[in-house]
Amino acid sequence: MHPSARDKTKATLQRIGLFPAARSAYRALNGGIRKQRAHEIAFYSSLFAPGALCFDVGANLGQTTEVFLACGARVLSVEPNPLCHPTLKHLFGDNQNCQIVLSAIGSSNGFIDLHTHGTDATASVRADWDRQTYGSDRGTTAMTTPIATLDRLIERYGRPDFVKIDVEGFEKEVLRGLSSSVRLLSFEFHFTEIGLAEECLEMLSRFGILSIRASDMDCNWLSSRTDDIKGCLRMLHDTDAKGDLFVWMS
């Protein structure tokens, strides 16, 4: 697959070190992005108080870390893809309320292969993720990255009030590395893989009674908060929904 003009421009900006600044300028000038950011700030402000400790697991280019900080949170921004690191450092390197952790998160501590494509910020430790997501073999490159458990993060940085998990199909492994409850976490779901979401919830049920609520990809609620897990998942499957599942543990 030949790179597009956009990809070539992005690669050039990354090579000369100007991508983080150019991206920040574009986002600041884009009215649609500013409007969505304001919506997300209001959305997450209803879930935790200022001063809360939030883990942004799979931070990508810091879109959600930025929102959490605007909500007044203290943020652990966790991302294994080295293509994302210059932007994260540009945005948050001098912010005392944000710590950047250059690591994947999973069920063990050590090292793992991360699969990337071109200049994409999105990557996965699942070798089949790119093909499953884009429907063709775009060609990926594997690189070795550190991996740690949520338990290790909690031991080092403290117990979070909220954990956001966005790890491109690796959710079960991330949850296997958690041995005690947190107040609230979220992970991505897709109606075509609703069984995976159910398995994740079954893993979390070992910590106590769960209640869940679903949002779409743009932070609009799709359901009320409920402890009817199977009913909620059935509704999400039947309506072809995708987004994030928020899970409260008691």
Prediction pTM value: 0.90
Q: How many helices (H) and strands (E) does the chain have?
A: 10, 10
Return the higher-pLDDT residue of 124 and 96: 96
Classify each residue of 139-174 as buried b or exposed e, where b means 16 or more C-beta atoms within 10 Å of its C-beta.
ebeeeebebbbbeebbeeeeebbbbbbbbbbbbbbb
Q: Tell me the C-alpha distance between 184 and 213, whole Å.
A: 11
In a domain, residue 229? The reply is no
Return the higher-pLDDT residue of 168 and 97: 97
Write out the residue range of the structural domain in which residue 11 sits. Answer: 5-180
Average pLDDT of the residues in 20-25: 92
- For 118-132, how does the pLDDT look when each residue is reduced to its tens digit (9 = 90+)? 555 667 776 666 566
> pLDDT band at residue 12, thresholds of 50, 70 and 90?
confident
Spell out where the chain has E strands.
Answer: 53-57, 74-78, 98-101, 104-105, 110-116, 141-148, 162-165, 184-190, 210-216, 242-249
**Beta-carbon count within 10 A of 6 CB:** 9
Q: Tell me the C-alpha distance between 198 and 183, whole Å.
A: 19
Closest-CA residue to 43 (of 189, 238, 216, 237)? 216
In a domain, residue 89? The reply is yes
In a domain, residue 211? The reply is no
In a domain, residue 204? The reply is no
Indicate whether 2 pLDDT > 90: no
Query: In terms of DSSP bridges, do strands 184-190 and 74-78 run parallel, antiparallel, or are they unpaired?
Result: unpaired
CATH code for the domain of 27: 3.40.50
Q: Which of 1-15, 43-57, 127-141 has the highest mean pLDDT?
A: 43-57
Average pLDDT of the residues in 82-88: 92
In a domain, residue 133? The reply is yes
- For 154-204, how does the pLDDT look when each residue is reduced to its tens digit (9 = 90+)? 999 999 999 999 998 899 999 999 999 999 999 999 999 999 999 999 999
95 dihedral zone (left: phi>0; alpha: psi -120 to 50; beta): beta
In a domain, residue 110? The reply is yes
User: Which pLDDT does position 37 carry in this prediction?
Assistant: 97
In a domain, residue 218? The reply is no
In a domain, residue 49? The reply is yes
How many structural domains is the chain composed of?
1
Q: Tell me the C-alpha distance between 52 and 43, whole Å.
A: 15
